[in-house]
Amino acid sequence: KSDIPVVFHWLPIIGSAIEYGNNPLKFFLSCQEKYGDVFTFVLFGRHVTVALGAKGNNFVLGGKSTAFGAEEAYQHLTTPVFGKDVVYDVPNHVFMEQKKFIKVGLTTDNFRKYVDMIVEEVEAFLENDPAFEVYQTGDTTKWGQFDPLEALADITILTASRTLQGKEIRSSLDKSFSKLYSDLDGGFTPVNFLFPNLPLENYRKRDVAQRKMSEFYVDIIRKRKEGKQHEDDMISALMSQEYRSGSPLRDHEVAHLMIALLMAGQHTSSITSTWALLNMAAKPGFVEALYKEQVQYFGTADGKFRSLTYEELRALPLLDATIRETLRLHPPIHSIMRYVREDVPIPPTFAAPSKDGSYVVPKGNYVLASPLVSQMDPKVWKKPSEWDPYRWSDPEGAAAQALKTYVDGNGEKIDFGFGAVSKGTESPYQPFGAGRHRCVGEQFAYLQLGTILATLVRKIEMRIPTGVPENNYHTMITMPKNPRHIHYRRRVS
């Protein structure tokens, strides 16, 4: 047994926080070169053991819950925002039951209904938002500009509330709810992750907003209980569920799960569609290929389009590859963390100090898997820093090969189609995580992203003369830096 190498640092408590915070990819790659796939760095007094590559992902995400806890790693950030008694505020076996309840609200029947609703919201946004003023004139020769980060943040919350969140939330979006949302969101930052309780203004606002938002949902739930009307949304799905013990979810638990879903889906989805559009706009030829795909599948004889359907949307190879490739190059969650509850040996087949030695991650450390590093690994992916959706359609290509080893490694067949759900944990491609904490929102995210992108492709041409922007890693979820305005022109049809 020997010690895992510790990343050299000058500042005792702060450790490598600055290098990690500024650019985790660069930091991890330079550590990997010096120390290999397993090393420990100091992050504000915490000892974080990083496990890189597909085997590292497997080590962290496939670990037992008795050994690795997500609760201790995330609850400082999530409990003040989501509220008590849900997600990481409860033991994992309780949250696993709550995840099952959430799945009840994510049925194919609901997804089928959501497609039209999302299209309507996107079309209404183009028709009404000031950023699309040029579009609204109907002029198909003039170019306008929009900030994709802003536009897609709005479109994402509008479409999520129209579908999953329910009509009461959608109709409140133009009023009080948006302010509460933005105050709550202001408390969802890396600073909150590291220092849960500072006497800061944005923490105070976060706490007030959490209470008010919780009351807002509880009020909706009570009104629904009084009335006879039945809605097919997540609130009603959650209200109908019972724990194995026989007790139903309490009103505040439904409310807090709804807030958790809102927060979990908002930035991840909006940032993914933002990066997708930025990369698409930098390759106008590719946008045209996506447009042709729409024409091929949905074009009508009079040069118009018929409505998208959920089933057909799932089968569009280029659109699917666009989302998949965007999530490879820009996974919204670049670091997945767990707290180490007991000493955990690292399998020597993954990493060892010498032929006869072995590493043990000590209790009290954190472990970290980085989908970003494995999804950019040049040993796996050809030209990893290039955004190339076509890599997903080449059966002999690196992407297919990487996924093949994943399937073989786990001995189970995995369908990598649109929004596929896989259970294996040893893969270089894991934008939705893996194992017991795997994302429940993947199918919904694919549906939402696919519908938004397809609708935009049908309506506008895109360019970005300043090129694809750089990453800003200082936010919870990696954002594009400025300049990032996309130039657009209304299509003729």
Q: Which chain residues interact with ligand HEM by CB under 6 A?
A: 70, 99, 261, 264-265, 268-269, 272, 327, 332-333, 336, 431-433, 437, 439-441, 444-445
Output the six-digit token pair for 442: 């993947």
Q: Choose between 34 and 84: whose C-beta lies nearer to ligand HEM.
A: 84
* Nearest CB to ligand HEM, comparing residues 214 and 443: 443
Q: How far is the CB of 481 from ligand HEM (least distance, A)?
A: 20
Q: Which is nearer to ligand HEM, 56 or 332 (CB)?
A: 332
In angstroms, what is the minimal distance from the CB of 491 to ligand HEM?
A: 26
In the complex, minimum distance from the CB of residue 302 to ligand HEM, in angstroms, rounded to a whole number: 35
Backbone CA torsion sign across 231, 236, 237, 242: negative
For ligand HEM, give the closer residue by CB, 221 or 445: 445
Least distance in Å: CB of 316 to ligand HEM?
A: 17
| Alpha carbons 345 and 347: distance in angstroms, whole number | 6
Q: What is the nearest approach in angstroms of ligand HEM to the Cβ of residue 397? A: 22
Question: SS3 helix, strand, coil % of the chain, rounded to 5?
Answer: 55, 10, 35
Closer residue to ligand HEM (CB): 58 or 135:
58
Q: Which amino acid is at 295?
A: V
Closest to ligand HEM by CB, 92 vs 466, is: 92
Q: Which residues fall within 8 angstroms of residue 115, CB to CB, at 6 or more apart?
A: 307, 308, 309, 310, 313, 447, 451
Question: Which residue of this chain has its Cβ atom nearest to ligand HEM in the complex?
Answer: 441
Tell me how far, at minimum, the Cβ of 44 lies from ligand HEM, in Å. Answer: 19
Beta carbon nearer to ligand HEM, 172 or 335: 335
In eight-state DSSP terms, residue 474 is T
**What gap in Å lies between CA 22 and CA 4, rounded to an integer?**
24
CB 374 within 8 A of CB 53: yes
Could you tell me the smallest distance in angstroms from the CB atom of residue 2 to ligand HEM?
29
Helix (H) or strand (E) holding 109: helix 108-128
Q: What is the rounded CA–CA span in Å between residue 74 and residue 339?
A: 9
The least CB distance from residue 431 to ligand HEM, in Å, is 5
Nearer to ligand HEM, 167 or 204 (CB): 167
| 109 versus 226: smaller Cβ distance to ligand HEM | 109
Phi then psi dihedrals of residue 490, to 5 deg? -65, 135
Phi, psi angles (nearest 5°) of residue 395: -65, -25
End-to-end CA distance of the chain: 68
- Residue 402's identity, in one-letter code, is A
Instruction: State the nearest-atom distance from the C-beta of 368 to ligand HEM, in Å.
Output: 10
How many whole angstroms separate alpha carbon 483 and alpha carbon 470?
9
| Closest to ligand HEM by CB, 81 or 264 | 264
Residue of 96, 175, 116, 43 lying closest to 437 (CA atoms): 96
Min CB(99)–ligand HEM separation in Å: 6
Which of 476, 447, 440 lies closest to 261, judged by CA? 440
**Rounded (10°) CA dihedral 299, 305, 308, 311:** -20
**In the complex with ligand HEM, which residue's Cβ is closer, 134 or 477?**
477
The nearest distance, CB 218 to ligand HEM, in angstroms, is: 20
CA 295 – CA 317 distance, rounded (Å): 14
**DSSP secondary structure letters along 33-83:** HHH-SEEEEEETTEEEEEE-HHHHHHHHHTS-TTTEEHHHHHHHHHHHHH-
Q: Give the list of residues 6+ apart from residue 68 with CB closer than 8 angstroms, or none.
A: 60, 338, 339, 340, 341, 344, 367
Contact 490, 140 (CB under 8 A): yes
Nearer to ligand HEM, 58 or 490 (CB): 58
**Shortest spacing between CB 255 and ligand HEM, in angstroms:** 15
Question: In the sheet that 460-463 helps form, which strands lie side by side, from edge to edge?
Answer: 143-146, 486-490, 460-463
8 Å CB contact between 341 and 367: no
